[in-house]
């Protein structure tokens, strides 16, 4: 019998599994949404239930759980039992992690894939393993730059290793995000990650001067807005920085006004580094800029409210009629607040 042929034998046909009593699945009343199992899946899971009964942890159990996981990556009990077996046997967890690499790429939308890696990284307690994992995640994101599970896992990993000793682990995050935004300036996951690294996870080494950090981040966002004035990710980041640093929106009025007018204005004679001008051919006015300008007026209140209302009307009727209902809602809210 060739090795190739052995691979397709059912567990029930394998002599080395003869000592295990397979346990079929419970058949109760007529099932709701029953699944038409394949013979291979039914066989493997019968033996898995048999293993649960004996409590065995062994190499062959690793093979069995791997078989089931390949057929059904969402089978969380198989993942659970596999992890327990790995720990009990004192297996090389780094090897397990590596063995799962291709599987993770092929099944990146499966929650269990990433949960398993979390357990492994937690148990490994190694900064080197964490660094290798960051490189692996970057590779996965090349296949799908916005995969939510993968990004969450990266943020978890960094937050898990977030002390003085692990500073170097974080050192490359900001420039890596910049590379991603070079490729796609509308990648909101990358923008979010930048916010997490700079503002929401403590103060990184070299970032102690928060005013300088604020200037740097505003300049970064403005530069990206100049390239693509209608990119909500960059505008949201800008707003996030303003809120985080408790800065009034009006501080950005000069910049925002450049983007709230129709058509590009004549380039200034002296280059104003704080207020980069829109790239040539950009579609103006930017809806996001108009919205920002209206928010500046609303924040100032009083006799500025009618100016905000005027902008919202222009958004509703001319520049963003798709969200007419929302702009009308803003007008009602603002007038109600003003008259209250």
Partner 1 sequence: MPEVPPVSRTLNRRGHAKLAQLCLSGLPFSQVEVDPSRLAVVFYCLGTLDLLGVLDSQVPEAGRIHWREWIWEQQTHGKYGTGFRPSPYMAPEDYKSTHWPPWQLSDDHTEYDVPHLIMTYTALMSLAILRDDFVRLDRAGILRFVRSCQRDDGSFSALPIGGEADLRTTYCAFVICSLLDDWSGMDLDRAIAFIQRCSSYEGGYGQTPDGEALGGTTYCALASLKLAPPTPTSSWGSRVAPAERLRTVRWLSANQSSSGGFSGRTNKIADACYCFWCGASLSMLDAGEAVDTTALASFMHQCQFKFGGIAKAPGERADPYHTYLSLAALALFPPPDADESWQLPPLDPLWNATLDTARWAREHVPAQKRTS
| Contact status: 150 vs partner 1 (CB under 8 A) | no
Active site includes 109? yes
Using CB under 8 A as the binding rule, whether residue 257 contacts partner 1 is answered as no
Instruction: Please write down the long-range contacts of 216-224, taking CB distance under 8 Å and 24 or more positions apart.
Output: 217/241, 218/252, 219/273, 219/274, 222/255, 222/274, 222/275, 222/276, 223/276, 224/181, 224/185
**Is the Cβ of residue 98 or residue 324 nearer to partner 1 in the bound state?**
324
CA distance 178 to 181: 5
Q: Which window, 6-14, 41-49, 218-226, 251-259, contacts partner 1 (CB under 8 A)?
A: 41-49
Tokens read off for 292: 């920002």
| Minimum CB–partner distance for residue 72 and partner 1 (Å) | 5
Q: Please report how close the Cβ of residue 144 comes to partner 1 at its closest, in angstroms.
A: 12
Which segment (34-42, 92-100, 122-130, 270-278) binds partner 1 by CB under 8 A? Answer: 34-42
Binding test (CB under 8 A) with partner 1, winner from 82, 116, 117, 192 = 192
Q: Which of 9, 10, 12, 41 binds partner 1 (CB under 8 A)?
A: 41
Question: Which residues, at least 6 apart from 233, have a Cβ–Cβ distance to it below 8 Å?
Answer: 185, 186, 187, 188, 191
Determine whether 215 is exposed, middle or buried from the number of CB atoms within 10 Å of its CB (0-12, 13-18, 19+): middle
Euclidean distance between CA atoms 334 and 200, whole angstroms: 31
Q: Which residues contact 28 (CB under 8 A, 6 or more apart)?
A: none
Binding mask 284-323 for partner 1 (x = CB under 8 A): -------------------------------------xxx
CA distance 145 to 280: 28
Cα(133)–Cα(120) distance, integer angstroms: 11
Residue 33 contacts partner 1 per CB under 8 A: yes
Query: Which one of the spans 24-32, 167-175, 251-259, 271-279 is the region binding partner 1 (CB under 8 A)?
Result: 24-32
340 binds partner 1 (CB under 8 A): no
Which of 18, 125, 139, 146 is close enough to bind partner 1 by CB under 8 A?
A: 146
**CA distance to 12, 40, 193, 299, per residue, from 139 (Å):** 40, 33, 16, 43
What string marks each residue from 100 to 129 as x (binds partner 1 by CB under 8 A) or -?
A: ----------xx---x--------------
**Buried-exposed string 235-245: b where 16+ CB fall within 10 A, e elsewhere:** bbbbbbbbeeb
Q: Is 187 exposed, middle or buried (0-12, 13-18, 19+ CB in 10 A)?
A: middle
The answer to whether residue 276 forms part of the interface with partner 1 (CB under 8 A) is: no
Output 243 or 310, the one with its CB closest to partner 1: 243
Q: Is residue 324 a contact point for partner 1 (CB under 8 A)?
A: yes
Site string for partner 1, 163-182 (x = CB under 8 A): --------------------
CB-based contact 127:165 (threshold 8 Å): yes
Size of the site for partner 1 (CB under 8 A): 69
Q: Could you say whether residue 244 binds partner 1 (CB under 8 A)?
A: yes
Token couple for 165: 């000793």
The residue among 227 and 277 lying less far from partner 1, judged by its C-beta, is: 227
**Within 10 Å of residue 179's Cβ, how many Cβ atoms?**
11
Query: Active-site residue among 70, 84, 109, 224?
Result: 109
Residues binding partner 1 (CB under 8 A): 23-38, 41, 45, 49, 52-53, 71-77, 80-81, 110-111, 115, 146, 148, 151-152, 155-156, 159, 186-189, 191-193, 195-196, 199-201, 231-233, 236-237, 239-240, 243-244, 321-326, 329, 333
Show which residues are catalytic. Answer: 109
């Amino acid at each position: 019998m060739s090795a190739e042929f052995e691979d397709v034998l059912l567990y029930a046909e394998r002599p080395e599994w003869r000592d295990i009593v397979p346990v079929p699945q419970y058949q109760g009343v007529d099932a709701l949404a029953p699944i038409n199992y394949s013979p291979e899946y039914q066989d493997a899971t019968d033996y898995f239930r048999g293993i649960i009964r004996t409590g065995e942890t062994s190499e062959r159990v690793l093979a069995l759980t791997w078989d089931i996981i390949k057929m059904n990556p969402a089978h969380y009990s198989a993942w659970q039992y596999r992890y327990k077996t790995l720990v009990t046997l004192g297996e090389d967890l780094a090897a397990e992690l590596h063995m799962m690499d291709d599987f993770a790429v092929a099944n990146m939308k499966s929650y269990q894939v990433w949960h398993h890696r979390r357990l492994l990284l937690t148990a490994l307690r190694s900064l080197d393993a964490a660094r290798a994992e960051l490189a692996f995640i970057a590779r996965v994101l090349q296949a799908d730059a916005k995969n939510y599970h993968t990004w969450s896992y990266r943020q978890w990993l960094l937050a898990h290793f977030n002390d003085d000793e692990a500073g170097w682990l974080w050192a490359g995050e900001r420039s890596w995000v910049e590379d991603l935004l070079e490729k796609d300036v509308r990648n909101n996951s990358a923008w979010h990650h930048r916010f997490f690294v700079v503002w929401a996870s403590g103060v990184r080494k070299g970032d102690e001067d928060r005013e300088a950090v604020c200037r740097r981040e505003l300049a970064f966002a403005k530069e990206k807005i100049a390239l693509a004035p209608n990119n909500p990710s960059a505008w949201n980041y800008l707003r996030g920085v303003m809120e985080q640093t408790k800065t009034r929106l009006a501080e950005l009025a000069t910049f925002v006004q450049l983007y709230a007018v129709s058509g590009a204005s004549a380039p200034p004679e002296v280059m104003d580094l704080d207020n980069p001008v829109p790239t040539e051919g950009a579609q103006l006015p930017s809806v996001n800029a108009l919205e920002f300008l209206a928010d500046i007026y609303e924040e100032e209140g009083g006799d500025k409210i009618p100016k905000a209302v005027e902008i919202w009307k222009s958004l509703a009727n001319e520049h963003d009629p798709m969200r007419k209902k929302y702009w009308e809602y803003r007008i009602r809210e603002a007038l109600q607040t003003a008259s209250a």
